[in-house]
Amino acid sequence: MPYRAPLKEFRFLFDHVVGLERVTSTDRFADATPDLVEQILTEAGRMCEEILAPLQRAGDAEPARLENGVVRTSEGFDKGYEAIASGGWVGMSADPAHGGMGLPMAVTTAVNEMMSSACLSLQLCPMLSQGQIEALEAHASEALKDLYLPKLTSGEWSGTMNLTEPQAGSDVGALKTRAVPDGDGTYEITGQKIYITWGDGDFLPNVVHLVLARLPDAAPGTRGISLFLVPKYLPTEDGAPGEPNSLRVVSLEHKMGIHGSPTAVMEYDGARGWLVGEENKGMAAMFTMMNNARLGVGVQGIGVAEAAYQHALAYALDRVQGKAGGTGTIVEHADVRRMLAGMKAEVHAARAIALMTAVATDMADATGDAAWAARAALLTPIVKAFGSDTGVAVAQEGVQVHGGMGYVEETGAAQFARDARICTIYEGTNGIQSMDLVARKMTDGGEAAFRLIDEIQQGAEAARPREEALAQAVWDAAEALREGTEWLVSRDEMQDRFAGAVPYLRAFARVLGGSAHLTSALAGGAGRRALAAVYIERLLPEHAALLAQLRAGAGGLFALSLDDLAAA
């Protein structure tokens, strides 16, 4: 089934739910007029439908491979990437001083979702470049910016992030990669990094790696980590790719999904690198890229969910099976209708949360308001975890809608489930995102969370005259979330917080989604109201069970000894 860009959904959410006009009314983003945004979304949607979507199955059937040290990419990916780069889609939110469009992150988020729906394996390449651009804009020297940002922003060169090592996964502080000063302002980088997405590609003239490494005599743990820019080819004076640097792709991982995306093991053997930011402050610089990527990964999950939903709906509208009224197709069966309605409601909620996060980021950038920055920080782990969980759940439901045919690779339904699974793992597992939410994001005593809950309840109060039942359900859920948050911030024992972190994050997302659906019901027609009822009546009640898990604490988990956990 051909992919169709959900342009009406983006327009509706921008205009009626997330308040894009607040962003475009600032001086920073005043050029992003409604007409311009409309043109951008339309052109990006056309590219995704006509150029990227046909590459989805090819990337799965013909994975990237390593041949004699050269990464050979899937057929057609070179043309697809050329369309992305030539259209300016890599540098949408980048600084115009280096060739970017300077668009709001909210618009970039919409385009990234469409690209993820069309071909996730290929979209991973520009997404990582976008994160690197943001990190370099914030932390690199002017010389590095002038040399690298125009190439990265145009998409001529691509960027990666190198954190993980065989012994240092989530515990980044355990890394062993070394950086030795050369005495001329550069450093020799030596070590091995794993899981490097788009570590190389045969259509990329140069690949710019951001590598975490440790200087001699640096402190242990994350306090002693620095960040370095290490290009595959050393640029010449005129900025062209010059001599090869001392690095190579050792191997490519054989993965469950995203086969078209080369995931490399990288080896650095005295490779020449340049310091980004200050010595021993590498994690702060890398977090700029990681936070960009966490929003991006949540959006990837939503993109896969949208594509899986469209695929399942098309099948359900065509498949005749059993005794059903109306069209005679399986969409007339109540259980199939339940699955499809739930899938659509989940995608709408997750998409709204992603755009809320992007709008908060834009407002923080445009105004410098600490409250907006706090909101963006609070929402980032939520959108990463809930967006990627939604991708997995909706893709799995899509397989179920197909029945036995969903388990057959030729239908394409299984690929969505396989591709989406990585989104819950990389850029910090969803458990780590949840721990971040209940720990670092609550150091303000929950102030940012309570402020958001207040707004949700105010919106529900305003909705009562038109939607009493739906409004009451959202208000009650928000009040339960408030009480859960109060319990959470009162816990000094972090294990109690961490034990309930995942259910708390999901409960927060459920309430945010309910609020977005309620707003949509007020602004839209009967269809919007019906979809809101599906979410609020059938999915939102999950928040109560999740918050009960939050309050259970850690004691019961650790009451199980290791012997108790052992297999029989």
**Residues near 132 by Cβ (< 8 Å), separated by ≥ 6?**
152, 159, 160, 161, 208, 210, 289
Q: Are 258 and 124 in contact (CB under 8 A)?
A: yes
CA–CA gap between residue 172 and residue 165 (Å, rounded): 8
Q: How many residues does the chain have?
A: 568
DSSP string, 96-124: GGGT-----HHHHHHHHHHHHHHHHHHHH
Q: Any idea of the CA torsion for 311, 118, 356, 20, to the nearest 10 degrees?
A: -110
Q: Are 195 and 172 in contact (CB under 8 A)?
A: no
| 280: helix, strand or coil | coil
Residues pairing with 71 in the sheet: 66
263-276/70-72 β-pairing? unpaired
Count CB neighbours of 141 within 10 A: 15
DSSP string, 190-210: EEEEEEEET---TT-S-EEEE
Query: Residue 524 has which token pair?
Result: 């839209």
Q: Choose, from 427, 468, 483, 542, the residue flagged as catalytic.
A: 427
Query: Residue 20 has which token pair?
Result: 């894009």
Catalytic-residue membership of 427 = yes
180: left (phi over 0), alpha (psi -120 to 50) or beta: beta
Query: Residue 14 has which token pair?
Result: 């921008």
Helices 334-367 and 282-318: angle between axes, nearest 10 degrees: 150
Residues pairing with 271 in the sheet: 189
Q: Which residues are catalytic?
A: 427
